[in-house]
Structure formats: structure tokens, C-alpha cells
Structure 1
């Protein structure tokens, strides 16, 4: 599948993330919410993979993991960003190790999350920890951690469906859920 197709496929996963201005000099990787695409492109040092009128798509590493870094814009203003860890060949339970790496990375910057939970939609494998990776791949189990800063919501999420495991961390302007028309339906499944 081409990079562009993969990108749009991930967009349609339906991840939801939110974040906004905090007390820091920047909101995400040296950039401020509302910054222009040109400003973000000048600031970002990762390898540009793809761009269109509303997105910048980079390849980089975070928490020791290869990932895609995505910035999204509305009317040339940055409104959300995040990391997507691409699927890789691993044992199914390895996804929890990657989730923990990202969790530790975010805890180092933002402290303990205000929410950190396992979400079960089907309890069939709940009493079999050795099969939790399978439960994630089937969509029966998801893990998520959420941080609320003064202007940003950060969501780390591990989820799956159709035997595919997904992992990502998203950052939204905190008030975006009320103000941005796409915030409830689009951002990489997070």
C-alpha cells in the first residue's frame, strides 16, 4: 500500500485526540497551536514523508520506537498532532511493551496521567493475561492514558481490530472538542 493510501487509511480509523496551549513555550515539539504550516515545517527537524494542504507527515523516532509524526491544519492553523507507531512483526503481547515505553516517555514530560485504564468490550480473554495481545488485536481490549494540561489533552492509546494492533499518542488543543468540526471523528484512532 502506498504511503499516501496508508496515511489516509489511518486517518479513517477514527482516533480522537485533543490538546491546547500549556504553560510551556510550545504546545507540541516546539510548535504552538494555531501556528501556520510554514512555521511548523520550518521548526520540525524530522524527515518529511508526505504533505498536502492540511497535513504534514514525518518519519521519526519517539521513546525508542520508529513512528510517524503527523501535524494537521485547518485554515492553515495547527490544531492537532500526534505519533502513530506503525505495525511491526512482533508477538502479540509485545504491543504492551511498546505501550509502556510511550507511557514512560509521556510521564517523564507530563507526570502521571489523570486517566489510565484498560477498556474491555468482550471479557472472553480477560482471565488469560498471556492472551491479552490477542484480545487487543480482536478489538476486545484497549489501553488508554489521558493527560489534561491547561490547554492540551494528550491521549495515548493501544487498540486493535481485525487482528491488527494500533498504537499512538495524540495531542489536541483542549477546547477543540467544542470548536473543531472534525475533532470527534478524525485523528488516527487515538
Structure 2
């Protein structure tokens, strides 16, 4: 059976409950993560990277890459051997945790240049102990007191830039998700849970 998503992309629903992107001689999607289109297989992603992954699991492939001047991991997330999300995880280490705020702002500026202003830009304070002292904001992030998120949208993808931390471990990530696959991961997790009950 063939279905068409709200965004107009055709997918084939198989009798066993799995689905595949409908292909008609061309890539079914025009967007994706790095050089891979949404719905790409693991082998297609490996070919697009041109190297072996640092980590390979059932639902993930991780590659060491550079994003501009930053060292990072490029994580590809799959459901049913189809690429549904991709994420850059910055792996740079800094003595002064305020540097992570600089990294966040630099990446935000670059994403703004490519996609325009974010449709949502949020700063969350769970504890305002360091709120009035900018020189301690990096510490606030590392303690889990402060987090920042910005969101963009294209016709086929959502993009989320995040700065957050816990136990003095600060993370900066840029996540891309194929709109056509919204809810697919959650549905799979729920199906696994229900199968185990």
C-alpha cells in the first residue's frame, strides 16, 4: 500500500508493518543530514561519508568529522534502515566552560545565515544562582542550571541547536530531523515496549 505524507512525500507501507520510501528513479527526499537524504539506508550513509564509522549499532552510525573549526561527532539515527535524524555533537573541550556559550552563539549565527532567524529561541534557568554573573554562565550550564535552545524549520526538516549540561559535562549539539518521519521513533519505542509487556 502506498501512502502520501502531509508534506507530499510517498511511502510504501509493507504487509509486515514496515515502510520504505517510494522511489521513482530519483531520490525521494530533497533534504537530509550532511550528504545523505532522509530515508537513506545505512550503506548509502556510509558511502556518503566515504569512511568507516567510529561507532556502529543497530540504530546509529557515528563518524568523527569537523563542523567548521569544531571537532565533533556526526551521528546518524535510523529506523528500519532509513535515516530519520542526524546530529552534530561538539567534542571540543574547554577549561573555561563559558567557551561553550561562544560555540553556541557562533553556530547559531551560522545557522541564521543559512536558514534565517529561528522561529523559537529559548533560554531556561532551573536555578538562578549564577544568573546575574555572566562570567559564571558556563558553570551554570555545567550544573544543569542553564540551557539554551534555538529552532529552525525548512520544508522537509526541523533543526534544533542546543546548549545544556549536567554533572559539569556541557554539550552543544545541532540536530536535524526529517519532518516526514515525525513520530516514527516514538511509535517504534512504544511498539517495542508493548511487545515486551
**Larger strand fraction of residues:** 2
Give the CA RMSD over aligned residues: 2.3
**Structure 2 CA distance for aligned equivalents of residues 30 and 60 of structure 1:** 13
Q: CA deviation at 1:29?
A: 1.4
| Structure 1: gaps of 5 or more residues | 1-23, 185-190
Q: Which has the larger radius of gyration?
A: 2
Residue of structure 2 equivalent to 1:4: none
Residue of structure 1 equivalent to 2:174: 169
Partner of 1:143: helix, strand, or coil? strand
**Is the Cα contact below 8 Å between 1:63 and 1:102 reproduced in 2?**
no
Partner of 1:125: helix, strand, or coil? coil
Q: 1:62 aligns with which of 57, 67, 70?
A: 67
What is the TM-score when the length of structure 1 is the normalising length? Answer: 0.77
**Structure 2 CA distance for aligned equivalents of residues 168 and 182 of structure 1:** 24
Q: What do the CA deviations read for 1:45-88 (whole angstroms, capped 9, x no partner)? A: 46631222322110011031000001011111111111001251
**Structure 1 CA distance for aligned equivalents of residues 109 and 51 of structure 2:** 22
Mark the CA change 1:126 to 1:132 in structure 2 (over 3 Å): closer, same or farther: same
Q: CA deviation at 1:175?
A: 4.8
Mark the CA change 1:163 to 1:182 in structure 2 (over 3 Å): closer, same or farther: farther
